[in-house]
């Protein structure tokens, strides 16, 4: 388990979507080109300073990236990402674990619940951390991948999905 001190904490979608802790200690990445801080090639500029972090500069994530038969150049290419964080039955199980410890999950829409559980699963997988709130920085590339998997559907019919709540 990591003993690195995180420079700040960040709480993706744990309460209100888009409301995140402000970072203090990174250089001003919002005014930089993404290529100046991203070396995996899959990050993009995120709306708050705190979110502009690459998988390759996040030690617990780098450790997981080395934990594959063939090293991957970005965490979004890790073969474990889909089964652990994107598979709906894995998220269903993650919800049960969450509920047993903390009670109901508050996110209202199915997609928000998916994203929240995916972030939690990612953090527990890489950091070994399980608290009620997510308190580490998830790299931008991974956040974007999870958002792409579970976009808001605005109530449109999307076919069968296992119950999450
Ligand atoms: Zn990157
Ligand atoms: Zn990456």
What are the boundaries of each domain within the chain?
29-149
What's the gap in Å between 50 CA and the centre of ligand 1? 14
Most confident stretch, 46-55, 124-133, 155-164: 46-55
Given a cut of 60, is residue 162 above it in pLDDT?
yes
Token readout for 105 is 């999950």
pLDDT of residue 83: 98
Query: Distances from the Cα of 37 to the Cαs of 7, 22, 67, 102, 145, in angstroms?
Result: 16, 18, 23, 36, 18
Q: Supply the pTM of this predicted model.
A: 0.83
35-92 tens-digit pLDDT: 999 999 999 999 998 899 999 999 999 999 999 989 899 999 999 999 999 999 999 9
Rounded Cα distance between 48 and 121, Å, is 22
42-78: b (≥16 Cβ within 10 Å) or e: bbeebeebbbbbbbbebebbbebbeeeeeebebbbbb
What's the gap in Å between 61 CA and the centre of ligand 2? 9
What's the gap in Å between 133 CA and the centre of ligand 2? 23
What's the gap in Å between 119 CA and the centre of ligand 2? 15
What's the gap in Å between 159 CA and the centre of ligand 2? 30
Q: How confident is the model at residue 165 (pLDDT cuts 50, 70, 90)?
A: confident
Rounded Cα distance between 125 and 86, Å, is 13
What's the gap in Å between 57 CA and the centre of ligand 1? 8
Mean pLDDT taken over the chain: 85
Rounded Cα distance between 121 and 6, Å, is 19
Q: What is the chain's length? A: 165
CB distance 150 to 114 below 8 Å: yes
What's the gap in Å between 145 CA and the centre of ligand 1? 12
């Amino acid at each position: 388990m990591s003993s690195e001190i995180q420079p700040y904490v960040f709480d993706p979608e744990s309460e209100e979507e888009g409301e995140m802790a402000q970072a203090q200690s990174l250089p001003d990445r919002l005014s930089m080109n993404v290529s100046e801080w991203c070396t995996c090639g899959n990050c993009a500029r995120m709306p708050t300073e705190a979110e502009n972090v690459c998988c390759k500069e996040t030690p617990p994530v780098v450790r997981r990236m080395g934990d594959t038969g063939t090293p991957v150049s970005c965490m979004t290419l890790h073969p474990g990402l889909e089964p652990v964080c994107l598979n709906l039955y894995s998220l269903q199980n993650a919800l049960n674990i969450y509920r047993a410890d903390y009670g109901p999950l508050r996110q209202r829409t199915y997609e928000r619940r998916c994203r929240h559980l995916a972030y939690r699963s990612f953090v527990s997988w890489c950091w070994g951390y399980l608290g009620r709130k997510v308190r580490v920085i998830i790299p931008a590339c991974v956040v974007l991948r999870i958002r792409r998997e579970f976009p808001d559907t605005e109530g449109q019919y999307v076919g069968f999905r296992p119950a999450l709540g």
